[in-house]
Amino acid sequence: MSENPTPRILAVDDSRVMRRAMSKVLGKSYDVTEAEHGEDAWTLLINDPEIQVVFTDLSMPYLDGFGLLDRMRNSDDPRLQDMPVIIITGKDDDDKTKQLALDKGASDFITKPFDSVQLQARAKTHVRHEETNRKLSETTDKLERQSAVDELTGLGGRRYFCKAADEYLAFIKRHGGHFTLVRLDIDDFNQLFIKYGKEQANTVLKQVGQALAHILRKEDTVARIGLSKFAMILRDTPIDSAKDLAARILKDISSLKCQVGKKNIHVTASLGLLEPVIVAESAIDDLVKEAESYLEKATKAGGNQVAIKSLRQHPVEKEMNVQTALTLLEFGHAENIKPHAKELVAQLLPLLEFLAKNLDAKVAEPFKDIKKILSS
């Protein structure tokens, strides 16, 4: 990237009039590049590292604004994953459309017809944010900080959570132990964002982050892993204790005093708790997804509640494998294996028959009639 460049903004709209209007307003302070649709925009983005912010319409030919957002947020390039994208909405775009854009990773909105002050304010805010992130990436130490810390809440970021959770999971696989995984979402956050704006939404996120940091222990892991999404690892915490902690979290969040001017906003959250049985093939991404399935139940039930699942107390009724059975034995849960005895026998038979045929005759003697014994 060149030294002290004029910040470059990409304006994407199939209307030449709209592109020209954006270029005229923003061209005084920024280097504006134009694209007629999402495919052209994508080509520019992957080939031009100077682009810092994207303003894009939603309805366009070839690749629309939603498709462009998907490509950017699912890209392997961290620059495109994190780049600010401001969605240009029309009068006919309802809150559902805006919420979908937020879900796909939009950073902000601006509504047609926009005035010059509004457009310049959005550009200034997001260029400054993008430049801050770039500066954090210039040295190894700052890159580590960017990976580890969510700048808005002061909690861990997504990469920090994945790294810490993977390390703890590996430790448990080697040495034993357990944890409860928690996924928390702020209820109706996208609607709050749309109704009150980004600044007020950020204030809510900061207050929720502070509440979580205050409640959790030093040995626990807490991070913001999405727009209004948080994840926690409660070390050596049985599900009953985690349930009590979750109740306290709900109470503290619903007690937050969030104001817009003189108006108070009531904020609530929903939580999904999972106490897993850790086996060799356990992966943190899979565990998070499972916790999210219980979070979804809490949300669908009306929010401001907790949905809980303990696989250590009530193992999931699904196919049992030998590795899982050995782990359950190790942790003293032999009673959970009994319902799956036939499945395990079926898995072990080929191995036992192989041993009967290939071991020394004296050693193999006990295995010779193994199929007959097990089927009797």
d(CA 248, CA 349): 50
Paired sense of beta strands 8-12 and 31-35, if any: parallel
pLDDT tier at 28, thresholds 50, 70, 90: confident
Which pLDDT belongs to residue 248?
A: 95
- The residue-averaged pLDDT of 257-271 equals 84
Give the tens place of pLDDT for each residue, 307-338. 999 887 644 444 567 777 776 666 566 777 77
Q: Could you tell me the pTM of the whole model?
A: 0.60
- Distance between CA atoms of residues 243 and 288, nearest Å: 17
Report yes or no: 376 and 345 within 8 Å, Cβ to Cβ: no
pLDDT digits (tens, 9 = 90+) for 54-98: 999 999 999 999 999 999 999 988 889 989 999 988 767 778 888
Length of the chain: 376
Query: Residue 114's pLDDT is what?
Result: 80
pLDDT tens for each residue of 176-218: 888 999 999 999 999 999 988 888 899 999 999 999 999 998 8
